[in-house]
Amino acid sequence: MELLGTSKLLDIVEKVNKGDRLSFEDGVRLMSSNELLVIGYMADIVRKRKNGDYAYFIVNRHINHTNVCDNLCKLCAFGKKPDDPEAYTMSLDEIEKKALAVRDKGISELHIVGGLNPELRLHYFEEMLRRIRQVLPKVIIQGFTAVEIDYFAKTENMSVEDVIRRLMDAGLDSLPGGGAEIFAPRVREKICDKKISGARWLEVHEAAHQAGMLTNATMLYGHVETIEERIDHLIKLRELQDRSRGFLAFIPLAFHPKNTGLEGTKLSRTTGYDDLKVLAVSRLMLDNFDHIKAYWIMIGPKLAQVSLAFGVDDIDGTVVEEQITHAAGADSGQSLTKKELVGMIKAAGRIPAERDTLYKIIEEGF
């Protein structure tokens, strides 16, 4: 192949062909390289090995129950102080109403995340889950990032294990991957100094895996992190996955600076080139993850579709009413229909597969 003839990455191509694990140094070389097509070619080999011709999507809804937050991280435009005129907290009745409103909409997942609101105690979340369960008995509830779980444990003076058990008993099925950002303490100091450490994020997910839950993982990129810090993040996730096998999918999240505490420091939106490279390198480094998801809300539907040729096998979901990225200036729209998701996947030459949170196929082909 002409493309490979002049490549400086041939030794890595050989490792990928043999199915060998890539090292930290390999990861740094890939992330520093401008041979995007060679990286994409390799990521596509791995993607096909793991997922054949399927590309997944989910019919879901997001609920962001409160934006009141004790942490107010610099990276975030969503969190507000309790006395801010834009602060809100949904009552349990409001949340139940939202669940009722989607009862006949064919959704298989509710994705629930919110700020760290000191007014909300564990019984609010247990009651929220019980009420949703009653209204939507078959829907999988993926809710509360590791950061929230740790906060509930602190406010209740309980262990993380006990909080997870209580929430599972009330109906929680899975944890989303948010709050991971970049694990390196140097970066957390600059973008989210009050947030739990990377090590604690990993501990919470390990505890969830030990309790029998499957969870997701993310990485927020495109701010102050170095290439080495991105690869270190991926390797820490790979090490936990080796131990627990509890991660379902990895989702890189492209940083949006608008309205955040980092706006105005010379940070701009990520480029399409970097987005594709991060997705493809993640596919290559995370050899023990089955799924790499492109979150179209962050990178736009068109690039999410193209990423299907760069190691991605999942383009997330119908979403509706996403607040976190839109507060930070995302211009991607709030929702895609199932028909649009299917059309995007077919046009990329893949078999569309509607999945549930646990990647069980609900319908395929279309």
Using the rule CB under 6 A, is 324 a contact of ligand V47?
yes
Amino acid occupying residue 259: N
- Minimum Å gap between C-beta 94 and ligand V47 is 21
Of 8 and 186, the one with the shorter C-beta distance to ligand V47 is: 186
Q: Which stretch binds ligand V47 (CB under 6 A): 39-47, 233-241, 280-288, 320-328?
A: 320-328
Rounded CA-CA distance 268/73 in Å is 18
- Minimum Å gap between C-beta 50 and ligand V47 is 18
Amino acid occupying residue 21: R
Query: 259: alpha, beta or left, given left = phi > 0 and alpha = psi -120 to 50?
Result: left
Using the rule CB under 6 A, is 75 a contact of ligand V47?
yes
Using the rule CB under 6 A, is 247 a contact of ligand V47?
no
Mark out the alpha helices in the chain (DSSP H runs): 2-5, 10-18, 24-32, 36-51, 92-101, 122-135, 146-156, 160-170, 185-191, 198-210, 227-244, 272-285, 296-299, 301-306, 324-327, 338-347
Using the rule CB under 6 A, is 332 a contact of ligand V47?
no
- Minimum Å gap between C-beta 39 and ligand V47 is 23
- Minimum Å gap between C-beta 195 and ligand V47 is 9
- Minimum Å gap between C-beta 298 and ligand V47 is 6
Using the rule CB under 6 A, is 144 a contact of ligand V47?
no
- Residue 7 sits at φ, ψ, to 5 deg, of -75, 145
Burial label for 11, CB within 10 Å (0-12, 13-18, 19+), is exposed
Q: Which stretch binds ligand V47 (CB under 6 A): 22-30, 96-104, 173-181, 271-279?
A: 173-181
β-partners of residue 317 are 58
Binding string, residues 215-234; x marks residues near ligand V47 by CB under 6 A: -x-x-x--------------
Rounded CA-CA distance 73/188 in Å is 9
Site residues, ligand V47 (CB under 6 A): 75-77, 113, 145, 176-179, 181, 216, 218, 220, 251, 253, 255-256, 260, 295, 324-325, 328
